[in-house]
Amino acid sequence: MKSLKDRLRLSTFAVLAAASLATFGFAADDAAAQERKSIKIGYAVSKTGANAGGAAMTTIPNYKLWLADVAANGGLELPDGTKLPVEVIEYDDRSSAEEVVRAVERLAGQDQVDFILPPWGTGFNLAVAPLFDRYGYPQLAVSSVTDKAPEFVKRWPKSYWFLGGGRDYAGALAKMVDSQTEAGVINSKVAMISVADGFGIDLVNAARPAFKEAGIEVVMDRTYPVGTQDFTTLLKEAAASGADTFVAFSYPPDTFALTQQSQVQAFNPKVLYLGVGAGFPTYGRNLGPKAEGIMTLGGIDIKNERNMAYRERHKALNGEYPDLWGSVITYASLQMLQESIKRVGLDREAVAKELSTGTFDTVLGETKLENNQLRQLWLLGQWQNGNLVGVEPADRPGASKPVLPKKPWQ
C-alpha cells in the first residue's frame, strides 16, 4: 500500500506568537497550556479523486476561512484569556476510504493533534467514526445526511450530525407537493429517479413512504448508475408519465446534466426538484433566469445578516461564494468548536460535553444541538430572484413561499 505523502503543515496559520501569555497563577492545566506554542488541528479531506469536487465546495474553503479568521483573531482563545496560534496538519485522503482511515489514525496516534476536523461525505464520516470515538475526539460530522444519527450518537457519544436525514428532506418535499396539489397548482403524480449510491438510496427510500403517506402517486421510480451522463431516455419517460412533479435525487454531475438535457428536450415539469449541485453558486450563475423555480435541498434566509456577511467573507478569501446548503453549517460547526475551547479549554471530554449541551452564537444565529444533532435546517429551497431561498419548514422564521408552477425554459 502507498504511504501518505501529502502531509502539509500550513504554517500560514501559525504565525501569531503567544504574546498574550502574560497571566500566571492558574491551575495545572492552565499552566501547561501556557507552555504550549500552538494548538494542533488536523484533518484528512478529499483533495483529489471522485470526492474532490464536493470537498472543494463545502468543506475545504470553510476550513480555510475559519483558520484565517482564527489567525486574524490572534489564535484560539482559552478559558484564561490567552490565545494560541493554530498549527494545521492536513492530508489528502484521495477519495479513498482506506486512506481516510489511515490518515485519521496517523493524526491521532503519530501527530497527536488536539482536535481533528471531519472528512467530506456521509460514507467517509461513518468510516472514521469508530476512530474518533476510540481516540476520544469530538467528530463534527457536517457533510453527512443520515437517518441513523440517533443510533450513531448512542454508539459514538462524541459524534455530532448537522445535515439531518433523508426522511427530513423527503418529508418536506412530500409536504410541499401535497399542499400544492390541494391548492390545485399541480396534480398528485410524481416521476422520480435516483442515483444508485448512498445519497440517492437514502433519499429515495425515505421518499417512497413519504409520498405514499401524503397520498401522492409515484408513477415513475427509476434508479441509475453512478457516472451516468445521458438521461435522455429517463427524461422522455418522465415527460410521458403525466406527472407534474419530477424529482431527481442526483449527485452534482447528474444535476448539471439533467438540467442541460431537460432544456434540450424542452422538458418542463411544473415542479423540478434536483439533488446535490443545484445549490452550488455556479449552478445559479450559469443558468441565470433559467434557474428560477427550480427546487433542491437546503436554501438560506437572505435576511439573515450574519449569513450574508459570512458569504461575502467566504468569497473574499476563496474567490467564490459558498454553496447554499452545507457550507454555512460547516463554518458554524467550527465556530461551535472554537467557542467550546474558549469556554472549557483543550480537554476533549469537556469540549464534547460543551458541544452537546451549550448554546452558541454562530453565523446561523443562536445554535444549539438536540441529542448531538442540528435540527434547525432548511429542508427545501427554491431559486427565486437569483437566490436559493428556504421554503420548508414553512413555519420557520425567514421562510419564503414556493412560487409554482415553474415557468417553462426560455
> Domain limits of the chain?
39-164+304-368, 166-302+378-392
Q: Sorting pLDDT into bands at 50, 70 and 90, what band is 8?
A: very low
Tell me the C-alpha distance between 299 and 294, whole Å: 12
Specify the higher pLDDT residue, 408 or 199: 408
Give the least confident one: 14-28, 54-68, 76-90, 157-171. Answer: 14-28
Domain spanning 39-164+304-368 has what CATH number?
A: 3.40.50.2300
Specify the higher pLDDT residue, 180 or 199: 180
Whether the per-residue pLDDT at 33 is higher than 90: the answer is: no
Q: What is the pLDDT of residue 402?
A: 97
Q: What is the mean pLDDT of the chain?
A: 91
Q: Sorting pLDDT into bands at 50, 70 and 90, what band is 123?
A: confident
Whether the per-residue pLDDT at 5 is higher than 50: the answer is: no
Buried b / exposed e along 51-84 (16+ C-beta atoms within 10 A): bbbbbbbbbbbbbbbbbbbbbeebbbbbbbebbb
Mean pLDDT within 146-151 = 94
Tell me the C-alpha distance between 73 and 75, whole Å: 6
Domain 39-164+304-368 identical in fold to domain 166-302+378-392: yes
Mean pLDDT within 3-13 = 41
Whether the per-residue pLDDT at 251 is higher than 90: the answer is: no
Q: What is the pLDDT of residue 31?
A: 52
The CA-CA-CA angle for residues 26, 31, 36, to 5°, reads 145
Q: What is the pLDDT of residue 11?
A: 37
Q: What is the pLDDT of residue 139?
A: 98
Q: How far is CA 176 from CA 15, 33, 179, 185, 325, in A?
A: 50, 52, 5, 11, 19
Helices (H) and strands (E) in the chain, counts: 14, 17
Mean pLDDT within 293-315 = 96
For helices 122-135 and 198-213, what crossing angle results, to 10°?
110
Q: Answer whether 266's CB lies under 8 Å from 217's CB.
A: no
- 319-348: pLDDT as tens digits: 999 999 999 999 999 999 999 999 999 999
Residues, the chain: 410
Q: What is the pLDDT of residue 61?
A: 98
Mean pLDDT within 122-131 = 94
Mean pLDDT within 398-408 = 95
Whether the per-residue pLDDT at 15 is higher than 80: the answer is: no
Specify the higher pLDDT residue, 368 or 123: 368
**Cβ contacts of residue 409 below 8 Å, gap of 6+?**
262, 263, 266, 268, 290
Q: What is the pLDDT of residue 122?
A: 86
**How much of the chain, in percent, has pLDDT values that exceed 90?**
85
Which superfamily does 166-302+378-392 belong to?
Answer: Response regulator (3.40.50.2300)
Q: What is the pLDDT of residue 32?
A: 54
Q: What is the pLDDT of residue 246?
A: 98
Q: Sorting pLDDT into bands at 50, 70 and 90, what band is 227?
A: confident
Q: Sorting pLDDT into bands at 50, 70 and 90, what band is 294?
A: very high
**How much of the chain, in percent, has pLDDT values that exceed 70?**
92
C-alpha cell at 408: 417553462
Most confident of the following: 23-27, 186-190, 202-206: 186-190
Give the least confident one: 23-27, 40-44, 133-137, 335-339. Answer: 23-27
